[in-house]
């Protein structure tokens, strides 16, 4: 008999976190699941760790592949999944003991296609090999959102809706959707497509997913030209959403501005001075008059955009100093 939930975890060069991640799933209060572990050609001991756990628990299935990236690993997991529902966890993260129970209860109680919870950030300190947990107020309320409302909230950067993790999807929602192999920021390419297929979603406000903040993660690493995948993904996402919901045009413009600000910040923290830097400034100028002023943190986005447009060098100095303060050590 097929398990109710398929949990998919890709692993690549995260051996110091792998055991913690796997154990957090095996210790779930909800036990009717299969655990699909994808060793994405990891050169460390991730594959061995997965195999050792599989010997001890028959719910675990391990797949070893050549390294093709997170998207390919998730796609393989979806292909091998047999559950009625699917949830993704990243190999360096962990989940609360009631993560699956919480999401499963929400998706059934509200009869929706997707349930979500909120990410709690844990800052990993390599120098001490431990975690610093950011304090957050516990919440147990939930918000039901229509398709349009969900897309607006996602574009407004609310409730971690752009992330594929911390979700429970009905299997059919993911049918025909695949993660883009070879591209960074794969969630931006994909998450909105699941909301476009869902009639409603429920947003649980409980912090059930433990997200590891690392210095070598994509969001904290030095800028490379491949990072421009984010703009291409954001443009495609916004165009498709606005074609169905024209009223979201300004919210979509603000979302694109957030992506540009993120990339500009990575550039200046990396002391990158290529032609792409001016391209981002010009793109913000083109967007500026369309920026929404009513959605979440939109005024801050507009002020930041104006700062970059009018004083890019001063903004660069501020961000370089800020980076020295926030990057985990």
So what's the pLDDT on residue 324?
A: 47
Distance in angstroms (rounded) separating the CA atoms of residues 93 and 88: 11
Widest distance between CA atoms in the chain = 62
Interior/surface letters 198-221, b for 16+ CB within 10 angstroms, e for the rest = bebbbbbbbbbbbbbbbeeeeeee
Q: Are 142 and 110 in contact (CB under 8 A)?
A: yes
* CB hemisphere CA count around 168 (13 angstroms): 27
Distance in angstroms (rounded) separating the CA atoms of residues 237 and 151: 10
Distance in angstroms (rounded) separating the CA atoms of residues 39 and 45: 10
Task: Read off the pLDDT of residues 243-302 as tens digits, 9 standing for 90 and up.
Answer: 999 999 999 999 999 999 999 998 988 888 889 999 999 999 999 999 887 766 788 899
pLDDT-based confidence at residue 128 (cuts at 50, 70, 90): low
Nearest to 25 by CA among 39, 12, 37: 37
Could you give the C-alpha distances from 245 to 42, 196, 222, 230, in angstroms and in order? Answer: 41, 11, 35, 22
Distance in angstroms (rounded) separating the CA atoms of residues 7 and 60: 10
Adjacent-strand bridge partners of 102: none
Higher pLDDT, 135 or 173: 173
Mean per-residue pLDDT for 234-247?
97
Higher pLDDT, 208 or 221: 208
So what's the pLDDT on residue 134?
A: 66
Nearest to 102 by CA among 91, 118, 90: 118
Nearest to 95 by CA among 13, 5, 147, 23: 23
Question: In CATH, what class is 5-214?
Answer: alpha beta
Adjacent-strand bridge partners of 60: 35
Which of 30-34, 127-131, 298-302 has the weakest average pLDDT? Answer: 127-131
pLDDT-based confidence at residue 328 (cuts at 50, 70, 90): very low
Mean pLDDT of the chain: 91
Interior/surface letters 36-51, b for 16+ CB within 10 angstroms, e for the rest = bbbbbbbeebbbebbe
- Work out the percent of the chain whose per-residue pLDDT is above 70: 89
Q: What is the pTM of this model?
A: 0.92
pLDDT of 77 higher than 90: yes
Give me the residue spans of the domains in the chain: 5-214, 222-326
Q: Are 37 and 65 in contact (CB under 8 A)?
A: no
* CB hemisphere CA count around 131 (13 angstroms): 17
So what's the pLDDT on residue 183?
A: 93
Distance in angstroms (rounded) separating the CA atoms of residues 189 and 177: 10
Give CA 251 to chain center in angstroms: 19
pLDDT-based confidence at residue 329 (cuts at 50, 70, 90): very low
- Work out the percent of the chain whose per-residue pLDDT is above 90: 75
Residue 31 has a CB neighbour count (10 Å cut-off) of: 13
């Amino acid at each position: 008999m097929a398990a109710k939930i398929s949990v998919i975890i890709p692993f690549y060069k995260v051996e110091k976190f792998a055991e913690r991640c796997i154990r957090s799933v095996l210790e779930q209060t909800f036990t009717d699941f299969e655990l699909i572990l994808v060793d994405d050609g990891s050169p460390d001991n991730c594959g061995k760790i997965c195999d050792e756990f599989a010997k001890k628990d028959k719910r675990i299935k391990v797949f070893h592949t050549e390294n093709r990236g997170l998207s390919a690993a998730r796609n393989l997991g979806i292909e091998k999944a047999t559950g009625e529902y699917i949830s993704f966890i990243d190999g360096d993260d962990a989940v609360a003991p009631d993560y699956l129970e919480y999401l499963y209860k929400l998706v059934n109680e509200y009869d929706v296609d997707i349930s979500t919870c909120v990410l709690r950030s844990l800052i990993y300190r390599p120098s001490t090999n431990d975690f610093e947990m950011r304090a957050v107020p516990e919440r147990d309320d939930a918000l039901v959102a229509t398709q349009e409302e969900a897309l607006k909230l996602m574009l407004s950067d609310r409730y971690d809706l752009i992330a594929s993790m911390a979700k429970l999807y009905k299997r059919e929602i993911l049918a025909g959707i695949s993660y883009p192999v070879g591209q960074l920021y794969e969630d931006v390419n994909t998450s909105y497509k699941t909301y476009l297929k869902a009639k409603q979603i429920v947003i649980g406000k409980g912090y059930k997913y433990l997200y590891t903040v690392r210095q070598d993660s994509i969001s904290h690493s030095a800028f490379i030209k491949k990072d421009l995948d984010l703009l291409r993904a954001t443009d495609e996402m916004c165009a498709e959403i606005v074609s169905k919901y024209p009223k979201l045009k300004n919210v979509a413009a603000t979302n694109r501005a957030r992506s540009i600000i993120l990339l500009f910040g990575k550039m200046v923290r990396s002391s990158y001075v290529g032609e792409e830097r001016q391209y981002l400034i010009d793109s913000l100028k083109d967007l500026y008059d369309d920026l929404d002023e009513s959605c979440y943190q939109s005024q801050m986005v507009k002020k930041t955009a104006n700062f970059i447009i009018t004083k890019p060098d001063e903004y660069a100095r501020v961000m370089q100093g800020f980076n020295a303060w926030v990057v985990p050590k």
